[in-house]
Amino acid sequence: MSTITLNNGFEMPVIGLGLWRLEKEELRNTILNAIKLGYRHFDAAAHYKTEVDVGNAIAEAIQSGLVKREELFITSKVWNSDHGHVVEACKNSLKKLQLDYLDLYLVHYPLATKHNGVGATASLLDENKVLDIDVTVSLETTWHDMEKTVDLGLVRSIGLSNYELFLTRDCLSYAKIKPQVSQFETHPYFQRESLVRFCKKHGVIPMAHTPLGGATANVKAFGSISPLEDPILLALAKKYQKSVAQIALRWNLERDTPVIPKSSKVERLKENLEVLNFKLEKEDIELINTIDKKFRTTLPSLSWGVDVYA
């Protein structure tokens, strides 16, 4: 598995398995199958409500000799409602995942919301059915608490998730430990080249969640448009004799942006790993660069009652 070096010297696999929206009953087989295929990077989060199931699968893989803990790269994230309780939330995730440390711990969103118990991860709404945002906890405070998880040996690397350029810059100004990674939605229809370049300039690895634009899942959930139907990507898939998804994933890897696509199907898991086996020609990368629609496909505002990207 190809890796990329973080600014603290640790290595991170450039392809991981995103665990968002995977059903509990399919997690065990999906994770074990992924490990057998060569996956070592798994992207979990407290808010996914599956850390116990993920932990059971990882423990089984380790105990059976399928993989060693030191070969794995496990990510989790602190949810909005735990911004004032970062260390406790991290310990809670570690307990559920049955791990002594996390390879990467992310601030899931740059947004503190009403606390409702460590690890409970609810998105509580106010009397107007709008997300109950907590304005008493600053992002600077949250970040310094993230740094404490490193100091305590709970976490090796820390980073951001769903941060825009302004807030990324802000974090860099007060960080004692610079973010190692910034994870955000990016794909051929939402390229965010300025954010990618800014992160790389300042030693922060950009990582693509939703690297396929959420495919059919986001079309159903948010009414978004999938880039996998784009005629240019379809033509390139035919040219390289690859799937459209492989072309989209390879495009992100070509700009040194690791990806965490989600799938529970063995053939898709295998297909996603195979993007390491080919490269896109320069003119084809430039062609994909022309289809950016600045189109975000993950829209939490539909359930939160407020556009947090306003």
- Specify binding-site residues for substrate: 108
- Contact yes or no for 39/66 (Cβ under 8 A): no
Instruction: Collect all residues with Cβ–Cβ distance below 8 Å to 258 and sequence separation of at least 6.
Output: 4, 12, 13, 14, 15, 16, 41, 205, 207, 208, 252
Task: Estimate the crossing angle of helix 244-254 against helix 231-240, to 10 degrees.
Answer: 90
The Cα–Cα gap between 18 and 270 comes to 14
Is 163 considered catalytic here? Answer: no
Which of the residues 48, 109, 163, 189 is marked catalytic?
Answer: 48
- Contact yes or no for 231/283 (Cβ under 8 A): no
AA letter at 151:
D
Known binding residues are 108
SS3 106: strand
- Contact yes or no for 93/76 (Cβ under 8 A): yes
What are the backbone angles phi and psi of residue 106, rounded to the nearest 5°? Answer: -115, 150
Kindly list the catalytic residues. Answer: 48
